[in-house]
Structures are given as C-alpha cells and as structure tokens.
Amino acid sequence: MKYLEISKIYIKSQLVWRADVVFQVLFTVTKILFAYLLWGIIFNDRTEVAGFSFQSMLSYYVISSFLSQIEMSDGISSEISQRIRSGTFSKYIVIPIDIQKYFIAMEVGVVAYYGIFQFMAAFVWVIIFRIQFVVSHNPIIILCAFLLVVLGLLFMVQLNYYLGLLALKYQEIGTFLMIKNNLVAFITGSIVPLMLLPEGIVSVMKLFPFYYVTYLPSMLFIGQLESEAVPGLVIIFIWCVMLQVLIHVTWGSYRRKYDGVGI
Amino acid sequence: MNIIETEMLTKRFRRYKKQAGIAGSVKGLIKRDYEEITSVSELDLNIKEGEFVGLIGPNGAGKTTLVKMLTGIIAPTSGKVSVMGYYPNDLKNDFKQQYAVVMGQKSQLFFDLTVEDTLRLFKEIYGIPEAKYQSAKNFFIKLFHVEELMNVQVRTMSLGERMKMELIVALLHNPRVLFLDEPTIGLDSVASKQIRGFLREINEVKGTTIILTSHYMEDIKALCSRSVVINHGSKIYDGNTEQLFERYQKHKKISLTFDAPMELPEIGFGVSMISETPYKKVMKVSREKASELLSFLMKFNPSDISVEEEDIGTIVERIYGEEGSSPDEIS
C-alpha cells in the first residue's frame, strides 16, 4: 500500500501544473503531425520503404514515440545525485521504505500520468488522420511486447538508480549520464535508424538491453520481428537481474560513504 | 532504562584541501591533499526514555553529526552506538518506524501539494490504521492551530507554518524518539515560542524522548532539563540545564530602541556598552542586575526593548576558561 500511495502522490504532483499538461499534449500532437507530413511526402511516389508500408511506418512511429516519451527515468539519477551532493538524500534514508522501490513507485506514478495523456493525444490523431493502425494479430506476441515494455522500463529505472548511487563515491556523475544517454540514443535507433545499419552491428546491439526498451516492443506491436520476442524477453530479464545484483552490491559498499553534508 | 547509548563514538571525515586559482585546480587533477576532520570524538552518552535533552554547541561543534549517527544517516568511524537496541546504520525499517527526525533545512513535505497529501503518504509509509491516523491528525491540528492550512499548497506557507507541518508529519506515527536539529532556525520569536510550547506538550503528554540540537539558548533553557554541551566533537558538559546557565551564563544583553535621539546619563549597574547610536543602545549587564537595570531604563520610554541570553560560544569559552578541566569533572 505504501508504494501505491507513493505512485499516487507523484501523479498528484504532476497534476498541479496545468500548463505542463497542455504542452505535453501539444508536443505529442506536433510530433505525430510532423511524422504524418514527412512520411506522407516520402511515400508519395512509392508504396514501401525498407519493408514498411505507409500505414505500418506511421503505426511504428506512433507506438515508438509513445514508448520513448513515457520512459522518463532520467529524473531518477539526477534526483539521487543532486540530493546526495546537497546532503538531502537523508530524507529517503530516515523513513521506513526500500529506497529503490520508492523510486520505482515514483516512476510508475509519472509514467501513469504522462502515459494517459500521451495515449489520449495519440489516439485522437490516429482517428483524425484515419491511420489504419497495423497491429499484430498474435496475442502471444502482444503479450511479449507488453512484458518487454514493462521489463524495459524497469531496466531503465534500475540503470538510472544505479547511476544515481554512483554519486555516493564520485559525487559528480555527469559523464556517466552522458555516456548512457549517447548509448541509449544510438542503440534505440534515435541517431541512425537501426534498419540502415549493417547486420553485424545490429547483432551486437541486440546483446544490449536498450534495443528492447522501445525498438523491439514497437516492432512486435506492428507484427514485425516476431521471432525475436522470446530471446528478447530472456536477454532483458538477464540484464534486469544482473543490474539488481550490481545495485545491491553498490549500495552495500557505498552507503557508508554518504556524509549527509551539503545544506 | 536507557533508550540511547553511545560509547567512545567517533566520526572522522576526510576533506579535500583545494588550492585556490586555476593552477591549484590543475594541480588537484594530478595530486590531491586531504585533511582529516574529527567531527565527533570518543563521545559517551546515555539518554533515558522520556528525557528532553538539549545538545548545544557552537557551529561546527559536531551536534548535527552526532544526530546523523544516532539516526543511521551516516556510519560512525569507531565506537559503539545503540538507539532503542538497534545499531542505527543497519537502517532496519523496524528501527526507522520508531523514531522521527526533523532537520531545519531538510524537508519531508511535497511543496507543490498540500500537507494533507503528505500526511496521507506518511500514514501508508508507517502503516498507521485509519482511526489512529484521524485521531493523531486531529490532535496535532488542534495543538498547532493549523485547521485552515491543511488544504493549502506547502510552497505558499511561511517558514514558521512549514516548520509546524514538518513536526506534524514527523510526529504522526507517534515515535518513541524525536530528533530535532535546529527546528527554530530562521523563525521569528513568536513562531519559535509556539514551536517550543508544542514540543513541551509532546514530551509531557506523549512521553516522547526528545533530543534537541540548537545554538539558541532560549530553546534549551525553555525546554531541556538536561543539557549536553559539545565543542570540537567532545562533550564538555553533561548535566542539569539550570545549573549550566547558573554557573556559566553570567551576563545578559539588553537592546533599547528609541523613537527620538536619546542621550543616556551615566547608568551604573556595572553596565558595559556594546554599541551606541542616538536611536539604539546595546549593553551587557550581569544577570543579577538585569531586572534592576531594566526598571531603571524604562524611565527613558524606549519604543522597543529586548533581552538576550549570552550565546553558546561565550558559554563554551567560559567552561574552558573557568574549569580548565575534563568533561567528567565538569558534569
């Protein structure tokens, strides 16, 4: 119950700011509008690009941008590192909670809030543009995609929590965050679309967890790369377990370094 | 029964000594010099259940570091510590369930939300049943007179109002021990007085053991029957608060403000003038002669008058100066 209440309080915190809600919706709408226009031009004189039809490309875009927008765990590493540096991390230490679960619950609250608005905005635009949403008809693949989304979001929370904890030893973790952000951007295909990369490089990327955070679930939802569903679940699950062990060891050895000095 | 026990408790920090300027910054990349600071040194302390103890000392004396060790926030370097039978830095939830800590500048409140929202969260975190929660909440709302503030965004509250709310959040689960680190810092005298009144009542009515750190003499004098004076991480006095002030607080500072320029005649009473302008006079007088002097000064119709206790720094100096002895001899 305590973690549910933590999720609720973060939903309430998000709801305080009306302008933020409006701009988030506008941002989603603008992205979808832009994608519609861009891909409309590209598909004007052809019916297929890299194996995607116009409708499946738009479906992929709507789903992947929805998933990447609800992945907001970045805030966890900055919250933890800033509080460790300022000495206010104590506020989590003195209350009877598991600190990592607190941050997972916080993320659930934030994702629930933004997810609802992003979903509504995406849904309205799918209706307005009459996008014939291409979705897999295989319920097992849909289930795998949902599980991948959950494990992917969990992994990102774990990763950002772990990076935040590094502030106990290194104080300044800006470089770690920069490396993580570039790695995530590259492997999730934000810098170069994965379909344009040589197969060998993509195979290596598949060993990293980021491939399974937004890219693979989006492809599964639109009925592509179905053969990768089960291996993907296994790989991301192994990453989650490994990271959990790393968090446990890191917290155990670094927490004694916390000096609570700052303010 | 002792609820807090420490033996030879010590905390040392390592601090990077950075040289100023670009050259010093570059040098720091290659080789760093560190210095070791002892914040708390071989401190023995026993506190009984229900006591209201003042931890006093000048800034940097080690009071806050001691509280951080007692609450488990930081780990001791050496020595023994037991709070309610637990080693605090094990950070067991059963232990954290039984105490609360309020640090003047570290808030548990959600600034964008109302206090009611934070209280709901803490009800769940501490697993307080609904009936108990309602009764505790109503008790504190009445005690602190904050009915009208429960549905107000915290960020819009004054410092004094916020501190009352911090105390309500901390006390909601009826902790056995309450640690207060500078709870009246930055508050005006009215708010400080109110907070002191609430704390006294909590100690008396609920039997909560309270450890109060402050460098405001008024807080300690008004609340704590026992005082522990800490300086440079060591205990230099542990005993009755009244005796501490009787023995070491020898003067009072009196400030007078006038609406028109005022030239005071020769005052006497052994007064030493600290500062003097046509509109304001600040003077120091021995405790025994303070009330006599005040009666005399009232004849000049000051528009404002304030009487302050000597600060902790002066008392610490006097303990060292007069005794020149070990803490055990003093206590």
Whether residue B113 and residue A12 make contact (CB cut-off 8 A), yes or no, is: yes
CA dihedral defined by B98, B103, B109, B111, rounded to 10 degrees?
-170
Residue entry with tokens 């570290």: B106
DSSP labels, B36-51 = EEEEEEEEEEEEETT-
Residues of A in contact with B94 (CB under 8 A): 96
B119 with A18: CB under 8 angstroms? Answer: no
> Residue B69: left if φ>0, alpha if ψ -120 to 50, beta else—which one?
alpha
Shortest Cα–Cα distance, B310 to chain A (Å): 26
> Could you identify the residue written with the tokens 């009071």?
B63
Q: Which residues of B touch A95 (CB under 8 A)?
A: 96, 108, 122, 125
Tracing tokens 């701009």 back to the chain, one arrives at A23
Q: Note whether A87 contacts B93, CB cutoff 8 Å.
A: no
**Among partner residues A13, A90, A259, which is closest to B106 by beta-carbon distance?**
A90
Between residues 21 and 80 of chain B, which touch chain A (CB distance below 8 Å)?
68, 71-75
CB contact under 8 A, B73 and A88: no
Closest CB from B74, B99, B122 relative to A260 = B74
3-class secondary-structure state, position A1: coil
Dist CA A60 CA A63 (whole Å): 5
Rounded-to-integer distance, Cα A125 and Cα A128, Å: 5
Lowest-pLDDT range of A88-102, A118-132, B119-133: A118-132
A-chain residues within 8 Å CB-CB of B99?
A: 94
What is the DSSP secondary structure assignment for residue B7, as one 8-state letter? E
Q: Which residue has the higher pLDDT, B197 or A20?
A: B197
Instruction: Give the Å distances, CA to CA, from B154 to A262, B29, B117, B119, B150.
Output: 23, 43, 10, 12, 9
Cβ(A30)–Cβ(A23) under 8 Å?
no
Question: In the beta sheet, which residues pair with residue B253?
Answer: B284, B308
Is the minimum CB–CB distance between B249 and chain A shorter than 8 Å? no
Q: Do A91 and B106 touch (CB under 8 A)?
A: yes
B-chain residues within 8 Å CB-CB of A93?
72-73, 91
- With contacts defined as CB-CB under 8 Å, which chain B residues touch A4? 124
Q: What phi and psi values does residue B20 have, to the nearest 5 degrees?
A: -70, 160
Question: What is the pLDDT at residue B17?
Answer: 80
| CA B85 to centroid of chain Cα atoms | 25
> Does the beta-carbon distance from A96 to B105 stay under 8 Å?
no
Residues of chain B with pLDDT under 70: 104-105, 321-331
Q: For chain A, where are the alpha helices, taking DSSP H only?
A: 2-15, 18-42, 54-70, 74-86, 90-93, 99-128, 139-165, 167-170, 174-187, 199-205, 215-221, 229-254
Give B-chain residues touching A2 at CB under 8 angstroms.
124-125, 127
Beta bridge partners of B254: B283, B307
Distance from CA of A135 to the nearest CA of B (A): 40
Residue A35: HSE in the Cβ half-sphere, 13 Å Cα cutoff: 24
Residue with tokens 């891909």: A39
Q: Which residues contact B1 (CB under 8 A, 6 or more apart)?
A: B48, B49
What is d(CA B331, CA B329) in angstroms, rounded to the nearest whole number? 6
Q: Cα separation of A249 and B162, whole Å?
A: 38
Instruction: Look at residues B48, B47, B70 and name the one whose alpha carbon lies nearest to residue B179.
Output: B70
- B84 in reach of chain A (CB within 8 A): no
Element spanning B17, H or E: strand B2-17
CB-CB neighbors (< 8 A) of B110 in chain A: 9, 13
Size of interface A-B (CB pairs under 8 A): 75
Which residues of A fall within a CB distance of 8 Å from B118? 9
Q: Which DSSP string corresponds to A178-226?
A: HHHHHHHHHHTTSSS-GGGS-HHHHHHHTTSGGGGTTHHHHHHHTT--G
Q: Which of B75, B101, B107 has the CB atom closest to A256's CB atom?
A: B75
Percentage of chain A lying above the pLDDT 90 cut: 41
CA B302 to CA B259: how far, in whole Å?
7
Spatial separation of the C-alpha atoms in residues A83 and A91, rounded to whole Å: 9
Is the CB of residue B96 less than 8 Å away from at least one CB of chain A?
Answer: yes
Q: Which residues of A73-84 are buried (b: 16+ CB within 10 A; e: fewer)?
A: beebbbbbbebb
B284-325 tens-digit pLDDT: 898 888 888 898 888 888 999 988 877 777 877 787 766 554
d(CA B165, CA B137): 11
To test the contact with chain B by mutation, choose from A9, A18, A95, A171 the residue with the greatest count of B C-beta atoms within 10 A, namely A95
B117 CA: distance to closest CA in chain A (Å): 7
State which amino acid sits at residue B286.
S
Tell me, what's the pLDDT at B330? 43
Contacts of B42 (CB under 8 A, 6+ apart): B8, B9, B10, B79, B234
What are the tokens at B23? 């050259």
Instruction: Quote the tokens at residue A245.
Output: 């062990």
Q: What is the nearest CA distance from A182 to chain B, expressed in angstroms? A: 26
d(CA A18, CA A165): 32
Instruction: Give dist(CA B263, CA B261) in Å, integer.
Output: 7
Pick the closest to residue B262 from B290, B215, B302, B224 (CA basis): B302
The pTM assigned to this predicted structure is: 0.84
pLDDT of residue B325: 46
Find chain B residues with C-beta within 8 A of A6's C-beta.
121, 124-125
Nearest CA in chain B to A87: B106
**Does position A35 have pLDDT exceeding 70, yes or no?**
yes
Token pair for A30: 């603008």
User: If we measure between CA atoms, which residue out of B213, B214, B289 comes closest to residue B251?
Assistant: B289
Chain B touched by A6 (CB under 8 Å): yes
pLDDT at A119 over 90: no
Q: Which is nearest to B167 in space by CA: B134, B131, B132, B191?
A: B191
B73–A93 CB contact, under 8 Å: yes
Average pLDDT over residues A195-203: 82
Supply the mean pLDDT for chain A: 87
Alpha carbon distance B154, B162 (integer Å): 7
Give alpha helix (H) positions in chain B: 21-30, 63-70, 93-96, 115-125, 130-144, 159-171, 189-201, 217-223, 241-248, 290-297, 312-323, 327-330
Beta strands B251-257 and B304-309, pairing class: antiparallel
By the CB < 8 Å criterion, does A30 face chain B?
A: no
Q: Minimal Cα–Cα distance from B70 to chain A, Å?
A: 11
CA angle (B300 as vertex; B298, B306 as ends), nearest 5: 50
Domain residue spans of chain A: 2-256
Q: Which residues of B touch A96 (CB under 8 A)?
A: 93-94, 96-97, 125-126
Q: Which residue has the tokens 């053969």?
A: A227
pLDDT at A253 over 80: yes
- CA dist B90 and B87 (Å) reads 6
Mean pLDDT across the stretch A91-117?
92
